[in-house]
Amino acid sequence: AQKITQTQPGMFVQEKEAVTLDCTYDTSDPSYGLFWYKQPSSGEMIFLIYQGSYDQQNATEGRYSLNFQKARKSANLVISASQLGDSAMYFCAMREGRGYNQGGKLIFGQGTELSVKP
Amino acid sequence: DADVTQTPRNRITKTGKRIMLECSQTKGHDRMYWYRQDPGLGLRLIYYSFDVKDINKGEISDGYSVSRQAQAKFSLSLESAIPNQTALYFCATSEPTWGGEKLFFGSGTQLSVL
């Protein structure tokens, strides 16, 4: 079974509008972490945001926020005020277990390609 | 200079050839990883190393081997390359934390096996 599911292969958004990229996860471990990475056409992987399973508040990093709904096992990425430079592939990823023990052993979703229209 | 450097950036090889992908880092991190990216499948972990004397298999280690020559160097080898190993390969590093351990990725190596 898929541990990380991103159901939107591609998304379009108008510049300056907000967009939500969906991510659902599956784990029985009470301790886990959720990550979002951005991959522009140049290929590099850029860290965007992190949410720990015990974090009480939704994570935010500038224009990025993570809508964490633990009971639904979802960790959607919200990008506010989209910019043309946001056009890229976006990956949701999960670390099962505590960070100190599991480190960067991440399970990635299939990705969502976001296109921002002027 | 990039913190995590992968060489080569692109490589075309033939079935059955031995090939090595190299990774070096200047971040001073103990933890290093090799991931593989296939279209539609996201990234999958091949091998990881939490320090120089530590080597562990990831999700898809068959057909691959690694060597941790030093804290800064972690190389991935394909002993006998096959076409379904055509993929984009990423090296990454991280440092231990109790919370969100962020991965720092190299620019990737595009490998094509003919």
What is the per-residue pLDDT across B26-51, written as a single tens digit (0 to 9) for each? Answer: 999 999 999 999 987 789 999 999 99
Percent of chain A clearing pLDDT 70 (strictly above): 99
Which of B43, B50, B89, B94 should be substituted to probe chain A, the one whose Cβ sees the most A Cβ atoms within 10 Å?
Answer: B43
Any CB–CB contact under 8 A between B9 and chain A? no
Q: Tell me what pLDDT residue A7 has.
A: 94
pLDDT at A62 over 90: yes
Percent of chain A clearing pLDDT 90 (strictly above): 89
- Residue A102 vs residue B35, higher pLDDT: B35
Q: Which pLDDT band holds residue A1 (cuts at 50, 70, 90)?
A: low
Mean pLDDT of chain A: 94
Measure in Å the smallest separation between the Cα of A117 and chain B Cα atoms: 23
Report the alpha-carbon distance of residue B90 to residue A77 in Å, rounded: 23
Q: Of A1, A3, A6, A10, whose CA–CA distance to A113 is shortest?
A: A10
pLDDT in tens, B52-88: 999 999 999 999 999 999 999 999 999 999 999 999 9
Mean pLDDT confidence for A44-66: 94
Q: Tell me what pLDDT residue B1 has.
A: 59
Q: Tell me what pLDDT residue B67 has.
A: 97
What is the Cα B21 distance to its own chain's centre?
7
What SS3 state is found at A101?
helix
Q: Tell me what pLDDT residue A67 has.
A: 97
Cβ-nearest to B42 among A43, A103, A108: A108
**Please, are residues B38 and B97 in contact by the beta-carbon 8 Å criterion?**
no
Environment class of B37 (CB within 10 Å of its CB; exposed 0-12, middle 13-18, buried 19+): buried
Q: Tell me what pLDDT residue B102 has.
A: 87
Q: Tell me what pLDDT residue A68 has.
A: 97
Number of H helices, E strands in chain A: 1, 12
Nearest CA in chain A to B57: A105
pLDDT in tens, A24-54: 999 999 999 999 999 999 989 999 999 999 9
What is the Cα A98 distance to its own chain's centre?
19
Residues of B in contact with A100 (CB under 8 A): 96-98, 101
Q: Tell me what pLDDT residue A81 has.
A: 96
